[in-house]
Structure 1
Amino acid sequence: MTWYSSGYGILFLVLFAIRYLRTVVHAWVFFFRIKSAHLAPEPSFKPADVTVLLPTVLDIDITETLRTIIENKPHQIILLVHENDAAKAQGIKEAVGFKPIMIVAVPKLGRKRLQQVAGIKKTQTSISVFCDDDVRWHPKLLAHLLTPFEDARVGATGTNQRSIRKRHTTVWNFLGACYLERRNFNTMATNYIDGGVSTLSGRTFACRTQIVQGQDFADFLIKDDFLGTRMKPGDDKRYTMRFYAKGWRIQLVYTEEAVLYTQVADDSRFLGQCLRWARSHWQGNLAVVMQQSYWWRRHCWTAYATYLGTLMTPAALVDGGLYHVLSRALEAESSHVQRRALGAFVAWTLVQKTVKIWPHFARYPSDIRFIPAMILFSYAHGIINLWAAFTMTADTWGGRDVYQ
């Protein structure tokens, strides 16, 4: 009897496939199937049809963010601030010299969802673009973000994301870049395969204004209760849920012009960001599974890659368990075969952790020196995931405490 026909051998092969099939399929799709989309010769929507909604608490300098948005020539920018910051926002408007900036003040600090609802009520264009206050846009990002709307079934579009690279890159900045690269890899692949997206990133996305206007949507966005707690982070998951639940498609845009650059913490605050992201994943994914049916009716692959993947944590226990099952399956083999098989498995688990980051290494080969730190952190991140699962109702932002 060969090792793979034994009980432990069959168990190993089944678990290995469940664990790593998505990585293999996503690599094939990401590197060989996804093609850059071209602009429509006569687009139905142009930047002049867009209102950009920018919520901020003005705890950072947003001038550069505004400058890159203005380069895209939108119809209007709605700057959403706390009422105490209205004068400061007016000064910023005058400094950037873009007249079509509307300042909308809300009474509650750090309530991003309330800010967005206030901005949506003021929006008069057919397309709304939501973005964070620490992003940088390509000068042609808006034009490329609008291209998928040529399909009347598309309700929202998203971007390809990279971190703003520091002059002297630290391991923290590299790990933040890795997070975004992994996200690009997974979401672009699932979106290509079955149209699914786990979460349409709130860093920047576009949607048809008609979907998000009205009191019904405002209530849906604001009254987001999870285990008895009113959620503050995770608004982008709420938008994603709404688009799919109403039957709209979401299309991600994979072109260099649609690259969005964003800030990631370059110190230990990155751990706080990871914890918030992990909590949002648990909260949002559980909410979708419990409240919606689209995830299994229309996006079966995304359901497997995202929701089942969430349960495969921590990675150290999962990979360790696979190693143990394989070693039991190999007990009847010679020591030489055991060493080679177990060595091949260990090599696979380490190499596959780098696959999603290959585009980053192609741009910055010097960052290869961080691979050991990346692998160690990928296993340590399992602890963060577990802690996030046990503290899902916490609603702090992590990297920036916008409620203070």
Structure 2
Amino acid sequence: MMQFLSNPKWLTTLASWAVLGMLYWVIFLVYDARRGPYQPSFLSSLKLFGHMIPTMLLFATVKVVEHHNDNILVWFIALVAFRYWRTVVNIWFWFQYQPALPNLDLKLSHADCTVILPTVGPEGNPAFAETVSAILFNRPSRLIFATNSEDAAKQVEAALPPILSALETGKSDYQREWRLKATEVSTDIAVTNAKVSNKRRQVVNAFDMVETAITIMVDDTAVWHPQFLEGTLPAFGSDKVGFVGTSKWVKRLPRVGDPNATWLRNLWKKYWSGFWNTMGALYLIRHNFEIRATNAADGGVFCVSGRTSLIRTCIVADYGFQYAFLNEFVLRLGERFRGFGPIVADDDNFLTRWIINHGWDVKIQCSKEATITTPLGKYPKFVQQCQRWSRTTFRQNPIALFADRTIWWKWPLTVWTTYFPWMYNAALFWDVLMVYALMHTNLYQNSEHRIALLYGFAGFIYSTKLVKTAPWFWQHPGDFFLYFFPIPAYPLFAYYHSLLKIWTALTFWDLSWSGRKL
């Protein structure tokens, strides 16, 4: 491999072809953008040539390699820059982010919101009562339970009276946790049955029952902040905003042991349950970092999470949208090959793509009030969820990049900081490759302090894994010592996830809703 990287002839040829290929692609994008229904301005079209920068940097790197006596050092520096440039960019824009503030001209309130809650029933869902309590405390106009079966509908109807009674007497767990007073429930409540275990069909079945300006789709494990609607609705301050996403937080679950086991085994079981809960928390917190940074950078987002999303009703009420939503296929090639589908999962990714492809903007509202909390991180369920989310990336990102193509001119920076990297960013591969490159540089080979150099660089890699995860460890410092340092549980999980990512890339056609018993 080092011999290949040292061969300027082959590298120059490959880099030249990369530059030429990207030039042709950008020219096509300019033409494609100008003929679409939502045309960018001429200046925005010309900005598409900025997408040439990555391949031009590759070509420049190759030319430097040709004239440098330690060419592996050049590749090492290029690898480090390639690995971490987007981290630096995202940190910058993370600090630039501003949530939408309350606007006196905003005519939306809780009375303009209808909540659709798709569910397979409250049985086996300890968060159900808290989820419903939080929604009703926020007083939307209507709450629609979109169930999958008659049994689930009956379960919901049976679960509602005690939830309503607890809210009106101030004795719900939700009110106790937040120290809230008793409240009179004013929200109209309806239950509908789609008669099929399919989240997309369940929510579409409820769309005709929405009469308000804003439709909110909520998972039956997402618990809202008491001022959630008040804190989130200002995101619709611009008429161009059609879709709003929020911040996510994971509930720290009790560390479950086994009192009948030996002391050591009981301790291990507590550590094991805490480990998966922490991995789930870090997974969502990393997403918070990404969506906040990219939305501040160019308005982009890889996906508005389906755990809770707010959308203008005029969008979902369109029958063209509903048909496309229920009939999404992957790798469909005309009528001769229908591809894989219809897809049941990926509903939030589809919504995000539909929104930007039809001229709307997306706003991420990151604030204390605009936050949902959810239980996450149980083994083996969480691993199954990671598989589903990873397969979604390999299904949806190529569609957004090469079939829709809107993101190239609408969210140009997000293309390179999120859409491409999420398909190739496997920490195990890149970290090993950087260390391997360092060990083959003349700088390392001729150094009298090889161990210090190696350990110093490894420490740098290790520390970068705190960039996106710091909020959780700041709030739960004990988890830092148990799962990050000195016990490297999270970095090891990140490397395991790299292998999982390779597997899901090879099995992207698996459309099952893994991680949820339907």
Q: TM-score range, shorter-chain basis?
A: over 0.9
Does structure 1 residue 229 correspond to structure 2 residue 356? no
Q: Give the drift of 1:332.
A: 7.3
Contact persistence 2:357–2:404 (CA under 8 A) = yes
* Amino acid paired to 2:194: V
Does structure 1 residue 238 correspond to structure 2 residue 337? no
Distance 1:330 1:338, change over 3 A: farther
Q: Give the drift of 1:387.
A: 0.8
Q: Give the drift of 1:339.
A: 4.2
* Amino acid paired to 1:100: D
1:258 to 370, 373, 394: 370
Contact persistence 2:98–2:296 (CA under 8 A) = no
* 1:267 equivalent in structure 2: 379
Q: Give the drift of 1:95.
A: 3.5
1:52-92 alpha-carbon deviations (Å, 9 max, x no partner) = 01000114252221100011110001110124133332223
Distance in 1 between residues matched to 2:231 and 2:380, nearest whole Å: 35
SS class of match (1:318): helix
* 2:140 equivalent in structure 1: 74
SS class of match (2:103): coil
Q: Please give the residue correspondences for 1:114-125 in structure 2 after superposition, counting only pairs within 5 Å.
A: 114-125=201-212
Q: Please give the residue correspondences for 1:234-383 in structure 2 after superposition, counting only pairs within 5 Å.
A: 234-330=346-442, 334-336=446-448, 338-369=450-481, 370-371=483-484, 372-383=488-499
* Amino acid paired to 2:76: F
Distance in 2 between residues matched to 1:331 and 1:348, nearest whole Å: 18
* Amino acid paired to 2:156: A
Q: Please give the residue correspondences for 1:124-163 in structure 2 after superposition, counting only pairs within 5 Å.
A: 124-163=211-250
2:157 to 90, 95, 100: 90
SS class of match (1:122): coil
Distance in 2 between residues matched to 1:124 and 1:4, nearest whole Å: 67
1:17 to 78, 81, 101: 81
Higher alpha-carbon deviation: 392-401 or 66-75? 392-401
* 2:20 equivalent in structure 1: none
SS class of match (2:300): coil
* 1:206 equivalent in structure 2: 310
* Amino acid paired to 1:223: N
Distance in 1 between residues matched to 2:113 and 2:359, nearest whole Å: 22
Distance 1:13 1:74, change over 3 A: same
Distance in 2 between residues matched to 1:237 and 1:33, nearest whole Å: 25
Q: Please give the residue correspondences for 1:170-185 in structure 2 after superposition, counting only pairs within 5 Å.
A: 170-185=274-289
% identity of equivalent residues: 30
* Amino acid paired to 2:422: T
Higher alpha-carbon deviation: 284-293 or 190-199? 284-293
Distance in 2 between residues matched to 1:348 and 1:138, nearest whole Å: 37
1:276-320 alpha-carbon deviations (Å, 9 max, x no partner) = 111111111122123211121121211111222123343222221
SS class of match (2:248): strand
Distance in 1 between residues matched to 2:77 and 2:367, nearest whole Å: 37
TM-score, normalised via structure 2 length: 0.73
Distance in 2 between residues matched to 1:7 and 1:335, nearest whole Å: 16
Distance 1:116 1:337, change over 3 A: same
Bigger CA radius of gyration: 2
Distance 1:313 1:148, change over 3 A: closer
* 2:501 equivalent in structure 1: 385
Q: Give the drift of 1:42.
A: 5.2
1:38 to 76, 101, 120: 101
The number of equivalent residue pairs is: 400
* Amino acid paired to 1:87: K
1:239-294 alpha-carbon deviations (Å, 9 max, x no partner) = 00001101111111111111110121323321111111111111111221232111
Contact persistence 1:313–1:386 (CA under 8 A) = no
1:190-245 alpha-carbon deviations (Å, 9 max, x no partner) = 11101111011000010111111121001111111114221111100000000110
Distance in 2 between residues matched to 1:185 and 1:332, nearest whole Å: 35
Distance 1:132 1:4, change over 3 A: farther
Contact persistence 1:316–1:382 (CA under 8 A) = yes
1:305-340 alpha-carbon deviations (Å, 9 max, x no partner) = 122212334322222112222222335763236444
* Amino acid paired to 2:247: N
* 2:113 equivalent in structure 1: 50
SS class of match (1:311): helix
Distance in 1 between residues matched to 2:90 and 2:448, nearest whole Å: 33
Q: Give the drift of 1:150.
A: 1.0
Distance in 1 between residues matched to 2:289 and 2:283, nearest whole Å: 10
Distance in 2 between residues matched to 1:332 and 1:271, nearest whole Å: 39
SS class of match (1:52): strand
Distance 1:332 1:346, change over 3 A: closer
Distance 1:400 1:325, change over 3 A: same
* 1:105 equivalent in structure 2: 193
Distance in 1 between residues matched to 2:317 and 2:136, nearest whole Å: 24
Q: Please give the residue correspondences for 1:164-175 in structure 2 after superposition, counting only pairs within 5 Å.
A: 164-168=251-255, 170-175=274-279
2:298 to 191, 194, 200: 194
The structure showing larger relative contact order (alpha-carbon pairs under 8 Å, at least 6 residues apart) is 1
Distance in 1 between residues matched to 2:68 and 2:279, nearest whole Å: 37
